[in-house]
Chains A and B, each alone.
Chain A
Amino acid sequence: MKFLRGGAWLPPTVFGAAALGLWELLLWATDPEGFVLPRPSEIAVALGENISEVQMASRVTGFIILSGLAGGVVLGVVAALIVTRFRTANETLTPLAVAINAIPIIALAPLFNNWLGITSPRSNQAVVVLLVFFPVFINTARGLTEVGDEQVELMQSYAASDWRIMRTVRIPNALPFFFTALRLVASLAVIAAIVVEYFGGRQDTLGNIITQNAQFTRYDVAWAAVVAGSIVGIALYFAALILERLVTGRYVRATAAG
């Protein structure tokens, strides 16, 4: 796997280190008391001091993220398959999905807390599932329907069934669309899960660590939790990327090269 080796990692690593150094230096010169922003070194110290609490919270929030992500992805793919298989479903469901997608779903978090119980993980999961569902649904449905006419007609000329055309033409065609959505929602799910936790609920969550510590001006600890959330997000993004390379394999590299 070429993308996991050397080369590709070097520039972002160097850039990231330089940015952190600059951040440290700039704040050390202009804001030594840390009123605006803690320095990276302070965040690192805070992370070390609160590591067990942050780890526990990462596990709780991580579970919401992963389960919500899985639920939203499965629902999105299933809905896309149904919509593609039945044209009438497509005509009614897609505009509906677009309309619902226009609702700011995170803003509904307090309502979900009311419906499903504020301490229950269900309300948090529901928001993540909803947020993940639409990009996956819309992208996958596009990939399943935007296939060449001649590719479908060719399959029909071989007397291929609709299901066979789905398997042989539509699903492979939709894979790049699906993985684009997956990479997008991997980050989106992290944001959604943490923001929902701002509205209350359990104490041992990343969102709660951030709000509580920000309230008591312990910004370095709040930032430590943000760092933990970023790590989860980056890990998920790369997991999606690796999955994509494993599934689409050589074809993607061929298109990228040619």
Chain B
Amino acid sequence: MSTPEPQGAPGAAAEELVLQIAGLEKTFNPDRPNAVTAISGLDLAVRPREFVSIIGPSGCGKSTLLRLVGGLIEPTAGELSVNGRSAQEARLARDYGMVFQAAGLLDWRSAIRNVELPLELMGWSKSRRRARAVEMLKLVDLGGFDSHYPSELSGGMQQRVAIARALSFEPALLLMDEPFGALDEMTREHMQAELLKIWRETATTVIFITHSIPEAVFLSTRVAVMSARPARIAAEIPIELPERTPLVRDTEEFFRSVSRVRRTLRSVEAT
């Protein structure tokens, strides 16, 4: 159960993996009295077009793992490759669309100009990026809020702008850190459906951090359960659902998967 081998892909060659992590370790402030080893001995492999959710106790190192994968911080030890390249190279090749725990909008830019930001950096023409940003804001149900500034939007609306921004350029790898945490239940379900639709329609691979077990089960092809700090992947649970529509939430399979993840999480937190 704790093997890093992706389910259904025995012996998959390294080149076929989007993400390959082996023996990853991250210690903050090494050699100092306040050193914290957030991650130690973490293995994970993700194949193209997978939707992997990561779930684990609070403060165990989920955000840290995402920042390592995104090439924003350097690991202390271990191997990490993205499409056969280093995380740094992948970052410089703009492979990533990141959504952080905090929305991280630029306060002085209107909603639409926030969505346009990555497109601007990628050199899209003004008319093309405007058209895409309009489309993306509609997708996250913020059609009428183009010219609103972040200070004029609620926390959940800001988070949706951040999601629209991450999706706008169809990144090869979507890294999402509790993106729906600030949303109410209805908006959350709607956003989940939209994310699944985008995931299905594009070639995107998603790594998705969440605290919600039903959310992880509903969205993912696989749920990775992290142990308490120093974190590693303690278990991986493949999710097989007959379909991914709202109705599936009431099915036997859904409940079985939810309770399986819950039991695993509980056993991890107990140790």
Contact = CB atoms under 8 A, between A and B. Distances in A.
A158 B95 CA distance: 8
A164 B148 CA distance: 24
B164 interface: no
Contact of A157 (B98, B103, B106, B152): B98
Interface stretch (B18-26, B86-94, B244-252): B86-94
B253 to A, nearest CB: 36
Contacts of A31: none
B86 to A, nearest CB: 13
Contacts of B98: 153-154, 157
B92 A248 contact: no
Given A157-B96, A160-B121, A169 B106 contact: yes
Contact of A150 (B71, B102, B152): B102
Interface string A210-254: 000000000000000000000000000000000000001011001
Nearest to A157: B98
A173 B107 CA distance: 8
Interface residues of A, number: 24
Nearest to A254: B149
A168 B67 CA distance: 21
A248 B108 contact: yes
A148 interface: yes
Interface string A142-181: 0000001011011111111000100011001101000000
B104 interface: yes
B117 interface: yes
Contacts of A153: 67, 70, 72, 98, 100, 104
B151 interface: yes
B121 A158 contact: yes
A254 B91 contact: no
Nearest to B119: A158
B57 interface: no
A150 B97 CA distance: 13
B96 to A, nearest CB: 5
A172 B92 CA distance: 24
B118 interface: yes
A162 to B, nearest CB: 13
A258 interface: yes
Nearest to B70: A157
Interface in B132-146: none
Contacts of B151: 254-255, 258
Interface string B75-116: 000000000000000011110111011111011100000000
Contacts of B118: 158
A157 B91 contact: yes
A150 B72 CA distance: 11
Given A150-B104, A153-B100, A154-B98, A258 B93 contact: no
A258 to B, nearest CB: 4
B251 to A, nearest CB: 37
A156 to B, nearest CB: 6
A36 B269 CA distance: 80
Contact of B104 (A148, A160, A164, A258): A148
9 contacts: A148-B102, A151-B104, A157-B96, A158-B94, A159-B92, A159-B93, A169-B106, A248-B108, A250-B149
Interface of A: 148, 150-151, 153-160, 164, 168-169, 172-173, 175, 248, 250-251, 254-255, 257-258
Interface of B: 67, 70-72, 91-94, 96-98, 100-104, 106-108, 117-118, 121-122, 148-149, 151-152
